C-alpha cells in the first residue's frame, strides 16, 4: 500500500485543491509533507497586501514630506483595508522573504489624493522591488491591484488625474513588463 506522502506531487496537489487553506496549513506539522505544502501554498495562494500610510514610517523617512500625507483619511474612511500592511515590511526582512515566494498577490490601494499615493509608493519602492522583482528563470508574478479611489466634487480633477495616470501605479509592480498586473478600479463618491 502506498502512503500519502509517497504519491506524486500532482496528485497530492489535486487533493489539496479540495481542502481549505487552514486544513492544508495544519498538514505542515507532518515533516514529510511540509516542503510540498509550502511549495503548493506559494504557487496556488494569493497574498493580500495593503498600501497604508503609517505616520511613524513617514516621520522616519522625511519630516518635510509628512505634511503631504493625510493620515486622518485612512482612519476616517469607512473602508477597512484587509491585508498585511506594507509599512510593516520596511523593517521585517524575514516577512519580506516569506511573502516574496508567492506567485499571486492582491494589493489594496486607497487613493484620496493621487500625488500623495505616488509619493507613498516611492517611499515603499525598495520593499516593492524586493517583493516583486525576480530573475527571469523564477517566472512571473500575477499581481491584482485593487484601487479604491475616493473623490468629491472638489477633488474631481484628482480623480481624472488618477484615471489618466493609473499606469504610473502599475509601473511600480510590473518588473519591466515581466509581471502580469491587473487593475480593478473602484470609485467611491464621498
Residue 73 has a pLDDT of 42
What residues of the chain score a pLDDT lower than 50? 55, 57-59, 61-79
Q: What is the pLDDT of residue 163?
A: 84
User: Residue 77 has what pLDDT?
Assistant: 42
What is the per-residue pLDDT for 61? 45
CB-CB neighbours of 106 under 10 Å: 18
**Domain map of the chain by residue range?**
4-44, 46-189
17: exposed, middle or buried (Cβ count in 10 Å: 0-12, 13-18, 19+) = exposed
CATH class of 46-189: alpha beta
- The pLDDT assigned to 69 comes to 43
The pLDDT, as a whole number, for residue 189 is 80
Distance CA(168)–CA(125), nearest Å, equals 13
Query: What does the pLDDT read at residue 136?
Result: 66
In angstroms, rounded to a whole number, what is the distance separating the alpha carbons of residues 9 and 15? 10
Q: Give the tens place of pLDDT for each residue, 53-92.
A: 654 544 454 444 444 444 434 444 444 677 899 989 989 9
On whether the CB atoms of residues 141 and 175 are closer than 8 A, the answer is: yes
Amino acid at each position: 500500500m502506498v502512503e500519502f506522502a509517497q504519491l506524486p506531487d500532482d496528485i497530492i496537489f489535486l487533493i489539496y485543491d479540495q481542502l481549505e487553506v487552514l486544513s492544508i496549513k495544519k498538514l505542515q506539522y507532518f515533516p514529510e509533507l511540509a516542503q510540498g505544502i509550502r511549495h503548493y501554498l506559494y504557487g496556488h495562494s494569493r497574498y493580500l497586501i495593503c498600501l497604508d500610510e503609517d505616520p511613524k514610517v513617514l516621520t522616519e523617512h522625511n519630516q518635510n514630506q509628512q505634511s503631504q500625507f493625510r493620515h486622518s483619511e485612512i482612519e476616517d474612511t469607512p473602508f477597512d483595508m484587509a491585508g498585511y500592511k506594507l509599512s510593516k515590511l520596511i523593517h521585517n526582512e524575514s516577512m519580506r522573504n516569506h511573502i516574496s515566494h508567492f506567485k499571486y498577490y492582491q494589493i489594496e490601494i486607497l487613493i484620496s489624493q493621487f500625488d500623495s499615493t505616488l509619493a507613498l509608493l516611492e517611499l515603499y519602492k525598495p520593499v516593492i522591488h524586493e517583493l516583486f522583482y525576480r530573475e527571469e528563470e523564477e517566472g512571473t508574478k500575477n499581481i491584482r491591484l485593487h484601487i479604491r479611489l475616493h473623490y468629491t466634487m472638489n477633488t474631481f480633477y484628482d480623480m481624472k488625474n488618477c484615471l489618466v495616470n493609473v499606469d504610473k501605479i502599475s509601473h511600480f509592480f510590473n518588473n519591466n513588463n515581466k509581471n502580469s498586473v491587473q487593475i480593478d478600479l473602484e470609485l467611491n463618491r464621498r
